Chains A and B, each alone.
Chain A
Amino acid sequence: MLEDIGFVDVQIGPAADTFGGATGEEKARAFEVYGYAFLARNPG
């Protein structure tokens, strides 16, 4: 979607176990939900 909207140089960081140990962990594990950092540039 980022590239469809016109962003370029898209990068995605490693997965973070955002919900591990939280009460939402079971649901997160069921769908392999993790947190990620994204970086993208608005073309000049």
Chain B
Amino acid sequence: MSEDLLVDPQTLREQVRDKYREVAVDPHRTFHFHTGRHLAARLGYERDAVDALPDRAVESFAGVGNPFSLRRLEPGERVVDVGSGAGFDSFIAADQVTDTGRVVGVDMTQEMLTKSRETAAALGYTHVEFREGLAESLPVEDGWADAVVSNGVINLCADKQAVFTDIRRVLEPGGWLQFADIANGRPVPPEALRDIDLWTG
């Protein structure tokens, strides 16, 4: 592990997988964060777009903001969703880019990938696919994307510089990074920053 990193990336990944596996298979239990349609409304997602999605596409949504609030995607754009989870933001993106565009969701949790793929099939979305991979090494070719979206994922990555560097790699020149994440207004004590259990809850 790099001396610059606060926690071990692989250990953190395992903890994140454990947490979000639960969100995939048991989304209605109580977590330390909100989930589902209530959360989407709280974060200002367009109601019509959310209402159009089936419950299974929304119930495991656990984002922290609205990555489409500062820029709406355009029809025909190619989009990568980093940490796509059960696919909620990928499906919102798919509606915005229409079937002339393309969306690739990337996630490392098998239960999330299974759920998002089954939902895409149920919706008949042929312009959305979900790939297994890590935010630090996206399974996407150089310069492919017009836009990269992400929601509440990068704060859960130990090496944020590696994540942003790989996002730049997959973006075409002039492409957009639009993501939502948490930030703290008060400093967190150094010992807390190195407490891996606090990263996921």
Q: Which residues of A contact B (CB under 8 A)?
A: 1-2, 4-7, 11, 13, 16-24, 27, 30-44
Contact = CB atoms under 8 A, between A and B. Distances in A.
Contacts of B65: 13, 16, 18, 35-37
Nearest to B154: A38
A6 to B, nearest CB: 6
Interface of B: 30-34, 42-44, 63-67, 69-71, 152, 160-161, 164-165, 168, 171-188, 201
Nearest to A25: B32
Contacts, number: 118
B18 to A, nearest CB: 17
B34 A22 contact: yes
B185 A5 contact: no
Contacts of B32: 19, 22-24, 27
Contacts of A24: 31-33, 201
B171 A42 contact: yes
Contact of A39 (B42, B70, B181): B70
Contact of A22 (B33, B168, B188): B33
B43 to A, nearest CB: 6
A5 B164 contact: yes
A33 B33 CA distance: 12
Given A37-B70, A42-B168, A23 B30 contact: yes
A24 B64 CA distance: 12
A23 B35 CA distance: 12
B31 A35 contact: no
Contacts of A6: 168
B185 A32 contact: yes
23 contacts: A1-B164, A5-B164, A6-B168, A7-B177, A16-B42, A22-B32, A24-B33, A33-B184, A35-B180, A35-B182, A36-B65, A36-B180, A37-B65, A38-B178, A38-B181, A39-B70, A39-B71, A39-B176, A40-B177, A40-B178, A41-B174, A41-B175, A42-B172
3 A-B pairs closest in CB distance: A32-B185, A24-B32, A35-B64
Given A31-B187, A38-B179, 9 more contacts: A16-B65, A18-B64, A22-B31, A35-B43, A35-B152, A37-B65, A39-B177, A41-B174, A41-B177
A44 B174 contact: yes
